[in-house]
Amino acid sequence: MIPLTYAQELLDLLERHDPGRTTGDRFVVEQSFRVTGTVEQETLRAALGDVVFRHEALRSVREPGGSRVEPPRPVTVDGYADPFPAGELPALRARLCDDRLDLAAHHSAADPWSLAVIARDLATAYHARLRGDRLSPKVMQYAEIAADDRSPQWQQRIAEVLPNWRARLAGLDAAERPECGPVAGRYAEVPFRLGDDLWQAVVGSARRARSTPFTVLLSAYAATLYPAGRTPEALLPVITPGRIPSEWDTVGFLLNVLTMRVSIPAADDPPELLRRVDVACRQAYADDIPLVPVLGEVPALLTALTGTRAAPAFRFVARPSMTPPPVQPQWTAAPVGPETSPSVVLGCPLLFTVHPGGTGIVTYDTGAYSADRIGDLVSAYLSRVPLFAGAR
């Protein structure tokens, strides 16, 4: 029996809070990839099998208190759109439509980062099969992360920083957050783009402030949702990949949330707010531990992260390239279309996601927020970013 990771414990906690959310047959993470070159169907099927063999998380069955790894089974291609029960193995499906490859995994076994790993490994496995070779099965497994979660060193580190989180999040019930309607569990998305010049200005502002583009963008987000003179502080949940570099090539559910509280200046002052957000980010990331132990210390945090009283969340997607070297005239795959939002997991009614380069998307619960209000928030954010991109 493999012990649960803290991320899996988070899924269990969310399931108890909202039954059916994380065990349902539509709790699926999906992304499409544009394929260039000729694809041999049988070689693709074999390569999919090699990927499942490489990543144990795609063939693991959850049981009370842990999971067990099963032998590999063929990946379903024809039944891509069918219901996807949590216990059905392997936890990966694929569909090839002309020049588009769709990948889907049950979200309890994989996250959006994992799909990028799977797509890269699938291309590598495909080319290996053409050469009469096989994809290497050697990779850090999800079970190793579960073991690391329970290691004495990590447990000691968690115990050391928990008091910091307890102090940082004290009195959370009283923290103000934007008003919204009752959540409906149905989501819509609105894309946006900063533009190349504005993105470069964000990068320059971060460099001058000895900070990061993420911090600049998060500061503009705080100013948008918590205008100066109206609220004394901003509550800023930030969704992170929950991975360290040694885990970048691992498939599995590894999502984390760092919740920051930032005092808002009494008057508009972008440089000062940027400084305060930068301090909060440095403190939070210095104390980066899994969300589950923090929830144990601060139960009110769950209400702040999910449901009608949830604070809007922010995510900056910065991950290393998962694209394998192109091999022609055979096929390669490049992402196309949006990836599944963490909003589906956490149930947060509003999430701003920004990618390096300045493309972004707002995911929102259609019961909690109207399309008009989201449009206003996006317009306000796009007008705020230049103020912080010029901050010194």
Q: What is the pLDDT of residues 237-261, one digit of tens each?
A: 999 999 999 999 999 999 999 999 9
Judged against a pLDDT cut of 80, whether residue 232 lies above it is answered with: yes
255 in Cβ contact with 342 (< 8 Å): yes
45 in Cβ contact with 92 (< 8 Å): no
The tokens describing 353, both together, are 């996601």
Contacts 24+ apart (CB under 8 A), 335-338: 335/31, 335/32, 335/33, 335/34, 335/116, 335/119, 336/32, 336/33, 336/34, 336/100, 337/31, 337/32, 338/31, 338/189, 338/191
CATH class, range 2-143: alpha beta
Confidence (pLDDT) at 367: 94
In whole angstroms, give the CA distance from residue 110 to residue 103. 11
- Edge-first strand order for the sheet with 187-193 is 187-193, 359-365, 350-354, 313-316, 233-240, 256-263
Confidence (pLDDT) at 320: 67
Judged against a pLDDT cut of 90, whether residue 24 lies above it is answered with: no
Q: Which DSSP symbol is given to 82?
A: S
State the average pLDDT over residues 356-383. Answer: 95
In whole angstroms, give the CA distance from residue 77 to residue 98. 14
Angle in degrees, 0-180, between the axes of helices 371-389 and 270-286, rounded to the nearest 10: 100
Instruction: Give the CA distances from residue 360 to residues 29, 292, 382, in Å, rounded to whole numbers and listed in that order.
Output: 18, 28, 11
Confidence (pLDDT) at 282: 97
Pick among 3.30.428.10, 3.40.50.10490, 3.40.309.10, 3.30.559.30: CATH of 152-389: 3.30.559.30
In whole angstroms, give the CA distance from residue 3 to residue 355. 33
In whole angstroms, give the CA distance from residue 307 to residue 365. 10
Confidence (pLDDT) at 219: 97
Determine the straight-line distance between the first and last CA of the chain, rounded to whole angstroms: 54
Give the Cβ contact number of residue 143 at 10 Å: 20
With a pLDDT cut of 90, the percent of the chain lying above it is 68
- Edge-first strand order for the sheet with 2-3 is 2-3, 66-69, 60-63
Q: Is 310 helix (H, G, I), strand (E, B) or coil?
A: coil
Between 209 and 323, whose confidence is greater?
209
The tokens describing 327, both together, are 């091999």
373 pLDDT band, cuts 50/70/90, is: very high
Between 305 and 331, whose confidence is greater?
305
State the average pLDDT over residues 28-53. Answer: 91
Confidence (pLDDT) at 341: 74
Angle of CA points 227, 231, 232, to nearest 5°? 115
Contacts 24+ apart (CB under 8 A), 194-199: 194/354, 194/358, 194/359, 194/360, 194/382, 194/385, 195/358, 196/357, 196/358, 198/358, 198/385, 198/386, 198/389, 199/357, 199/358
Confidence (pLDDT) at 329: 58
Judged against a pLDDT cut of 80, whether residue 338 lies above it is answered with: no
86 pLDDT band, cuts 50/70/90, is: confident
Judged against a pLDDT cut of 80, whether residue 333 lies above it is answered with: no
For the chain, give the mean pLDDT.
91
- H/E stretch holding 268 reads none
For residue 209, how far is the Cα from the chain centroid?
27
- H/E stretch holding 221 reads helix 213-225
303 pLDDT band, cuts 50/70/90, is: confident
The tokens describing 237, both together, are 């949940």
Amino acid symbol at 233 = E
DSSP string, 273-284: HHHHHHHHHHHH
242 in Cβ contact with 254 (< 8 Å): yes
Judged against a pLDDT cut of 60, whether residue 121 lies above it is answered with: yes
Confidence (pLDDT) at 139: 96
Domain(s) labelled CATH 3.30.559.10 in the chain stretch across 2-143
324 in Cβ contact with 332 (< 8 Å): yes
Domain(s) labelled CATH 3.30.559.30 in the chain stretch across 152-389
Helical H segments across 71-140, by residue range: 112-130
pTM of the model: 0.91
